[in-house]
Amino acid sequence: MKFTINREALLKPLQAVAGVVERRQTLPILSNVLISVKGKTLSMTATDLEVEMVTHSMLNADETGDITLPARKFLDICRALPDQAKIELIAEQERAVVRSGKSRFVLATLPVKDFPNLGAIKGAYEFNVPQKALKRVIERTQFAMAQQDVRYYLNGLMLELGKNRIRVVATDGHRLALCDLEADLTGADQQQVIIPRKGVVELARLLDDVETPVAVSLGSNHIRFTTDTLSFTSKLVDGRFPDYQHVVPQGGSNIVIAERDPLKQALVRASILSNEKYRSISFQMSKGSVRILARNPEQEEAEEEVAVDYKGKGLDIGFNASYMLDALSAVTTEQVRLSMTDANSCCLVEGVGDTSCKYVVMPMRL
Amino acid sequence: MSVSLPWHEAQSQVLLTRLRENRFPHALLLTGRPGLGKHVFSGKLAEVLLCLERHADGSACGKCRGCQLYRARTHPDLHEVNVLEDKKFIGVDQIRAISDYLSLKSQFGGYKIVIISPADKMNINAANSLLKTLEEPPMWSLLILVTAHPASLPPTIRSRCQQLSFVTPPKEVARAWLKEQGRNGDDLDLALGLSGGAPLAALAVATGDWLERRQQIFEGFEKVLLNKADPITTAAEWLKFDARATIYWLYSWITDMIRLRTGNDSERIINGDIGSRLQQLSGVLTPQSWFKCLDEASDAWRYAESQVNTPLLFENLLVAWANRK
């Protein structure tokens, strides 16, 4: 393999794949990046066995071939070279030579066939969704994923393919976030998969705010997202997601309609004096207003009153302020609807006029 | 499954039958004395299960992507847990990593294999955190625990695994195998004897400078018992040897001397090469005293596994033996 490339053309994809390489590796080869030149395409692959990233770019190579070399060192070298530098990479038996101007570096390589890259996903179902829309639904649900829960199937985002809609659900057992996304899913079976937390976070970072579609291929063990420049694959969680539909309440009798921002700000202020560990606050609903009360073990108190549209009966209900704030922040409309039944049942938070996303927050007994 | 070492035939057949009948266990406990190739067996088993184009006789093809990655030791569906270099035990973080690893699907859609070796090196927290995974592993998981000391594993771990035990092969089999490894000569029987008949351990004895080291330790031991050397100085000299190996030798000499002294099963003498010297030395103490020494040696063996002050351990043994009359 032999090619010459502009520093800038190499740096961007290299940075993208190097992000996947973990600093502490059990297998030495995982700290390497697989560089391969086929025809006029240069592709770079890195993996940590949980997620894999491959970038593709155009190139006029002198010689095709494959090589693996230390990702971090190669990236540091390229980054430290001057702007617009021409970088030449030559593979020699067990070494890789990097040349640029008067600089020369020799890097150690490891055999290409030992690199555990994934290749094509067998029997995958494929569909397209706009990048921007996918990014939105992930951003609006990922906060509700559990973190290092022993119920490992909660440490991720559930993706459900239904009739021309993709549903994304995340829950940690205390709150739940659900978003729907319209998509053309002809020929898809109804199915649920769980993308692990790490893959979700990485994916949200990768997707851009553009309308161009991202191609999704869903196999039995992996999910892959492909754009024109890169493809990102994550393993799936080996487990079943709990039946979330039982948790989402079907319209409560006590409905609050409030302006989102004033309610949120009042909640932020009140939560300053809530119990630091449990973050408990109480909502006291009466006709036309909500009083938000917080009290901590030092006997400090906060009280906020927000004018809302409420016609139900008097209700006193406790919440974890952080969960409620997360839900309110994820709502995009100006008005928000909180539907409750009583102080022991969960609260459904929705944007007024936006039915695509739903948030469920469990109450706290105070 | 193809046989990895000649004396693994029976164990291979058991697993192969279960694989064919779809009754493969989710957790295996491989037991047997050190040097029988349990670890080799676990690797071979992993290779066979990870092979994508397994032969009809149950051996790995050696050509597919699975075999290729297995041989490069980079197979994503195989996770090995050993004692880390600077540690004495397998810690709880290493075991938690197993649960995380098993919670994801496999790369090739087949088995996800975890090998814990030596499993008795798990500390109590690690063992406890393994229980949950061991009880309800996700589909297509296989946990292989390898240990020479199953009794030092918590019973809760043992009862959750299918045990597969390895026994010492017949002498002819072991000798033939050692010859295949290019070892010849009369020292084969001695090496086998010294390692309790375990071929891999015998190979290590025959190749390394074990015999030479054993000679040095034996001379010290002999002099101390005959009151020709100072026990403290001898203990200090022994610090350059591996503590467990040293105590193992001591144990085997004392056992031999008891056999010689009591005149029973003298054909089972392990250290045949120094038989006459042992015979002489055995006269120094009464059989009762030798049994006491044996108890002390076996206690020392246990201590040597834990965090112990090795110089003190040796001094303690030698001073006690030098003064016993």
pLDDT of residue A67: 94
Q: Does A29 touch chain B (CB under 8 A)?
A: yes
Q: Is the pLDDT of residue B3 over 60?
A: no
**Which pLDDT score is estimated for B190?**
78
Q: Quick one: tokens of B168? A: 């010492």
- Best of B65, B103, B115, B135 to substitute, by most chain A Cβ atoms within 10 angstroms, is B103
Helices then strands, counting H and E runs in chain A, come out as: 6, 25
What's residue B304's pLDDT? 84
DSSP conformation class of A121: P
All residues of chain A having their beta carbon less than 8 Å from the beta carbon of residue B74 are 27, 29-30, 114-116
Q: Which of A222-231, A294-303, B234-243, B255-264 has the lowest mean pLDDT?
A: B255-264
In whole angstroms, what separates CA B153 from the centre of its chain?
A: 14
B80 CB neighbour count, 10 Å cutoff:
16
Token pair, residue B162, equals 């299918």
For residue A158, the distance in angstroms to the closest alpha carbon of chain B comes to 14
CA distance B31 to B52: 28
CA distance A257 to A288: 10
**Cβ contact (<8 Å) for A122 and B109?**
yes
Segment (H or E) for A32 = strand A32-38
Mean pLDDT of B242-265: 85
- Report the pLDDT value the prediction gives residue A300, as an integer from 0 to 100: 94
Predicted confidence at residue B186, as pLDDT, reads: 66
Q: What dihedral do alpha carbons B147, B153, B159, B161 form, nearest 10°? A: -30
Q: What is the pLDDT of residue B325?
A: 65
Q: Is the pLDDT at B75 greater than 90, yes or no?
A: yes
CB A331 within 8 A of CB A317: no
- Categorize the per-residue pLDDT at B214 as very low, low, confident or very high, splitting at 50, 70 and 90: confident
pLDDT number for residue A329: 95
Quote the CA–CA distance of A202 and A206 in Å, as a whole number. 6
Tokens of B42: 């676990």
Q: Which is nearest to A217 in space by CA: A193, A250, A241?
A: A193
Give the single-character DSSP code of B168.
P
CA separation for the pair A175, A145 (Å, rounded): 9
For residue B87, pLDDT over 90 is answered with no
Decide if B82 touches A, using CB distance below 8 A: no
Q: State residue B265's pLDDT score.
A: 66
**Torsion (CA) B272, B276, B280, B285 in degrees, nearest 10:** 10
| pLDDT value of position B303 | 87
Residues of chain A with pLDDT under 70: none
pLDDT of residue A231: 94
Instruction: Name the residue facing A50 among B68, B104, B109 (closest C-beta).
Output: B104
pLDDT tens-digit readout, A88-140 = 999 988 899 999 999 999 999 999 999 999 888 888 899 999 999 999 999 99
Type of residue numbered A140: R
How far apart (Å, rounded) are the C-alpha atoms in residues B145 and B119? 6
A324 CB contacts (<8 Å, ≥6 apart)? A267, A281, A349, A361
> Mind listing the pLDDT tens digit for each residue in B127-171?
999 998 999 888 899 999 999 999 989 999 999 999 999 999 988
Q: Which of A264-273, B25-34, B172-181, B261-270 has the lowest mean pLDDT?
A: B261-270
Largest CA-CA distance found in chain A, in angstroms, rounded: 80
Dist CA B89 CA B92 (whole Å): 9
Mean predicted lDDT score pLDDT of chain B: 88
N residues, chain A: 366
Mean pLDDT of B16-36: 90
